[in-house]
Amino acid sequence: MLLDIKGVKLSIVKMPLKNPFTTHLGSVTEREAIIVEVEDRNGFIGYGEGVAFSSPWYTEETVQTSYHVLKNFLIPLLRKKGISHPEEASLLFSSVRRNHMAKAALETALWDLRAKIEGIPLSNLIGGTMESIPAGVVVGNNLPEALKQIEGYLEQGFKRVKVKISPEDDLHYISEIRKQFPDLPLMADANSAYSLEDVDRLKALDDFGLLMIEQPLGYDDIIDHAKLQSQIKTPICLDESIVTFEDVRKAIDLGSCKVINIKIGRVGGLGEAKRIHDYCVSKGIPVWAGGMIEFGISRAHNIALASLPGFTIPGDISGSDRYWEKDIIQPEITVYDGMIKMPEGPGIGFKLNTKRMKEVTVFEEIFEF
């Protein structure tokens, strides 16, 4: 039976971060995102979040390009053809090339809607098995601040810390952290700051017992990463290079990485994310859920995804208060003793905080079916 959709609402929200988030590519001080609400004729509402940034620094999509693709292509496809299960969304959207974050924004809302219609948590609908998941956090690259932040997060029980590195800010930074926290489960994300010419710098990182190094080389590369992995001991984890299931198959086949970071937005939806997870499990490749400095809706989808059994490494999933004075969901996402409990309500298990939404919405439109 088709999902009986009454309409789709898109809202652009905008909120300052508590503290700027900095990588070698620049700083994020304010976050815009698209909140998607899909309502059916029985009054169930599914929520999704478009995680493209205001500018194309991480991937080529932006808030404005996602909005355009949602409004002019994806929502019309859904209105015209309809679907009965969110698993059909990727086929429905296949006439639109890439634009994965736009697709995921609508597709995740359809997953939430479907779970709410069935009256079960989204994690159950996708086959999740965990009752709570470990929280991980990313800290900034100002050394004294990072050391203080790490201490605070360890007190809160966080299970793993990630730092951002680049050739200007790596060996000294990591060694100082290691001096103070010799046993900390620590990993480093380079966001493509290196090339194969830096192989000696990257080899030197082997001495620090990092859990992994994330995306050291080109954002679209899987060939050079295979060459690098054969020369360093630290496991390579791919983030930017993995945008489809096929990328995963090829990267594993080539030996380009030993771990994969799964982001629902980057791969175009929860269906594709789950397919990647299932394949990685079959190949013995551990996965973890990446973060996008997101609001609570996307965070809630990440929590459901991370309840799948192959998510054996703590992800970039922290509480609402990591970046926000006040999130757009209620209750907010909280970390207790380093763990996040699976919500028990139907769907994503969190409600939109309508008062907060009003404060932070800068534009909205409703598309009736």
Task: Find which of ligand OSB, Mg ion, none residue 58 binds, CB within 5 to 8 Å per kind.
Answer: ligand OSB
Enclosing H/E stretch for 225: helix 223-229
Question: Could you report how far apart the first and last alpha carbons of the chain are, in Å?
Answer: 17
Q: Which stretch binds ligand OSB (CB under 6 A): 82-90, 284-292, 335-343, 359-367?
A: 284-292
Catalytic residue among 103, 116, 159, 164: 164
Pair 137, 158: CB distance under 8 Å: yes
Q: Name the β-bridge partners of 49.
A: 35
Pair 52, 265: CB distance under 8 Å: yes
Q: Which stretch binds Mg ion (CB under 5 A): 53-61, 119-127, 131-139, 239-247?
A: 239-247
What's at 316, amino acid-wise?
A: D
Show contacts with ligand OSB in window 330-349 (CB under 6 A): none
188 vs 252, which CB is nearer to Mg ion? 188
Q: Which stretch binds ligand OSB (CB under 6 A): 175-183, 226-234, 243-251, 287-295?
A: 287-295
283 among known catalytic residues = no
Enclosing H/E stretch for 271: helix 270-283
326 among known catalytic residues = no
Structure tokens at 36: 């998607």
For every residue of 9-44, DSSP letters joined together read: EEEEEEEEEEEEEEETTEEEEEEEEEEEEEEETTS-
Cα 292 to its chain centre, rounded Å, is 5
CB of 56 to ligand OSB, least distance (A): 12
CB of 266 to ligand OSB, least distance (A): 9
Catalytic residue among 71, 263, 341, 358: 263
Distance in angstroms (rounded) separating the CA atoms of residues 89 and 110: 8
6 vs 24, which CB is nearer to Mg ion? 24
Show contacts with ligand OSB in window 120-149 (CB under 6 A): 138
Contact between 239 and Mg ion (CB under 5 A)? yes
Structure tokens at 119: 């009256």
Distance in angstroms (rounded) separating the CA atoms of residues 364 and 357: 11
Distance in angstroms (rounded) separating the CA atoms of residues 63 and 101: 9
Residue 180-199 contact track with ligand OSB, rule CB under 6 A, x = bound:
---------x-x--------
Please identify which residue in 49, 189, 198, 294 interacts with Mg ion, judged by CB under 5 A: 189
Distance in angstroms (rounded) separating the CA atoms of residues 289 and 264: 8
What's at 350, amino acid-wise?
A: F
Question: What is the pairing mode between strands 236-238 and 213-214?
Answer: parallel
What's at 190, amino acid-wise?
A: A
Please identify which residue in 5, 12, 49, 58 interacts with ligand OSB, judged by CB under 6 A: 58
CB of 292 to ligand OSB, least distance (A): 5
CB atoms within 10 A of CB 18: 11
Q: Which stretch binds Mg ion (CB under 5 A): 70-78, 114-122, 207-215, 226-234?
A: 207-215
Contact between 294 and Mg ion (CB under 5 A)? no
Q: Which stretch binds ligand OSB (CB under 6 A): 5-13, 117-125, 222-230, 290-298?
A: 290-298
CB of 116 to ligand OSB, least distance (A): 25
Question: How many residues at the interface with ligand OSB, by CB under 6 A?
Answer: 10
107 vs 214, which CB is nearer to Mg ion? 214
- DSSP-derived letter for residue 166 is B
Task: Find which of ligand OSB, Mg ion, none residue 138 binds, CB within 5 to 8 Å per kind.
Answer: ligand OSB
Structure tokens at 137: 């956090």
Contact between 239 and ligand OSB (CB under 6 A)? yes
Query: Positive or negative CA dihedral for 197, 201, 202, 204?
Result: positive
* Active site residue ranges: 164, 263
Residues contributing to the site for Mg ion (CB under 5 A): 189, 214, 239
Residues contributing to the site for ligand OSB (CB under 6 A): 58, 138, 189, 191, 239, 290-293, 316
